[in-house]
Chain A
Amino acid sequence: MVKFLIFRGERGEGAFKEYEVPYQEGMVVLDGVLYIQSRFEGDLSVRWNCKAAKCGSCAAEINGKPSLMCKTRVEHLSQPIKVEPLRAYPHIKDLVADTSWNLRTRRKIIKDVGFKPRKDASWIMKDEDIEKGREFRKCIECALCLDVCHVLREHQLFDKFVGPAYLVFSAYLETHPMDSVDRISWLKEEAGIMYCNITKCCTEVCPEEIHITDNAIIPMKERVADRYFDPIKMLFRKITGK
């Protein structure tokens, strides 16, 4: 048997309730949660979809670590397995948190600094031109990185910082060879990239193993530094007008 502690409650109020589920080889946390839902608690709220670690719907905190329930094998966990909703977000019910901020943020990025193709280059691109973006395209927007990011989780700066997932999205747009939009000042002023203090928790929890901090956030910070924090480059631009 596998022991689970599942958070039950609404709008942040509630408590952990213990359940026992029969163990099956290869069992993941989502199997246990769905078993509990089908056998003991018909009204247990849980968000899930593909059960293949590709949709990102079943993000939750398992033994305190933001993880995908469908990708976390129970034999790797100490029992009772504690499952709770993503804590950075407002709680709705049981294991479901209100992640609608994610969609609003993505829409806003597309509206404000979305992709606009350049007209002076061909769409025929070489491998080296799309290599950077290939990693960023793996993002499934599961929100694990957003949940673990202390800027959002602890300091709740949702209005000032777009968070790791959307910095990955921005890095994808920014590094696209056909992109023509200048989003450096947006990264600094609107996306709040300087709020990130490089503690790399986002990278640690990413189920797609994207090197979020090293390959998306730091390169974008370097581009911001080029424009705003490099006195020699600033002087050079002033002199040459470039």
Chain B
Amino acid sequence: MERVFATSRRDIWWTETLGSAVVFLGVILYSIVRALEGKFFEWGPYVSPLYSIPFDTAWISPAVFTMWVPAGYRITCYFCRRVYYRSIFADPPACAVREFKRNYKGESAFPYILLNIHRYFLYLVVIFVFIHWGHAISAFFRWGENGSVKFGMGLGSLLILADTVLLTLYVLSCHSLRHILGGGSDFYSAERMGKIKYSLWKFVSRLNERHGFFFWTSLLSVAIADFYVRAVSSGAINDIRFF
């Protein structure tokens, strides 16, 4: 009987597994700490992407009310499943590497069967994408003392914009979105609105090839943008303004 993690592979297979686990758990931990902190999420024109709807509450962090949507979207995401099944649950730890013996049921039984609600988180997260675009655009404008609006750009504006673009691409490349927009059809030329469905399926399919890249980059960009907003908001650093 071979031991767990036994393999004939010669490459350093565990680097991807370990690296993914460190980054993934690191961002989750950072997000939870920041969400519970409940302050330093706004500064001037900047709003932290972790605080999508930054209202003031005296008793609990506003992130608690909103963060479950992007968190739920990511946890049920098909690419994210690959990440945590491999890196966290070692199910399997890597391809052709021995795993723990268990009564395996995959996603056919509770709790993993619940991951099929991904499409509902998709519907909700689309609303958040629009909210994030609102924050990204307003990050380029500052209110003057006399009520005037002035265009300007700081490092925070760019970080928030980059995060919004990556989040948008991550959502647009979603497997469920591809299915909803046209992937469920088989006979485009004969169906009502078949041409549109085909074009949308094709467009999302092209982006879908980079879904993993958008997953990782958007995950990191959220943390980086939030870290910058926190640093500026808490007074740890001054905002780097370009104009």
Interface residues of A (CB under 8 A from B): 61, 63-66, 77-78, 82, 84, 87, 121, 125-126, 128-129, 132, 148, 150-151, 153-155, 157, 174-179, 192, 194-201, 204-205, 211, 213-215, 218-219, 221-223, 225-226, 228-230
A195 B105 Cβ-Cβ under 8 A: yes
Interface positions, chain B 66-121, Cβ under 8 Å from A, are: 78-79, 81-82, 85-86, 91-92, 95-96, 98-99, 101, 104-108, 112-113, 116-119
B91 A150 Cβ-Cβ under 8 A: yes
Contact A63 B95, CB 8 Å, known A179-B186, A195-B108 = no
Cβ of A82: which chain B residues have Cβ within 8 Å of it? Answer: 8, 10
B154 within 8 A of A: no
29 A–B contacts, CB within 8 A, in A order: A61-B8, A63-B9, A64-B96, A65-B95, A126-B188, A126-B189, A150-B91, A151-B104, A154-B98, A174-B186, A175-B186, A177-B187, A177-B189, A192-B108, A195-B104, A196-B107, A198-B79, A198-B81, A199-B92, A199-B95, A213-B78, A214-B208, A218-B78, A218-B175, A222-B175, A222-B176, A223-B179, A225-B119, A228-B116
A201 B8 Cβ-Cβ under 8 A: no
A78 B96 Cβ-Cβ under 8 A: no
A223 B184 Cβ-Cβ under 8 A: yes
B184 A155 Cβ-Cβ under 8 A: no
B234 within 8 A of A: no
B96 A65 Cβ-Cβ under 8 A: yes
Interface positions, chain B 174-202, Cβ under 8 Å from A, are: 175-176, 178-179, 183-184, 186-190, 194, 198
Write the nearest CB–CB distance from B2 to chain A, whole angstroms.
10
B107 A201 Cβ-Cβ under 8 A: no
Pick from A66, A126, A213, A226: contact of B96, CB below 8 A.
A66
B99 A154 Cβ-Cβ under 8 A: yes
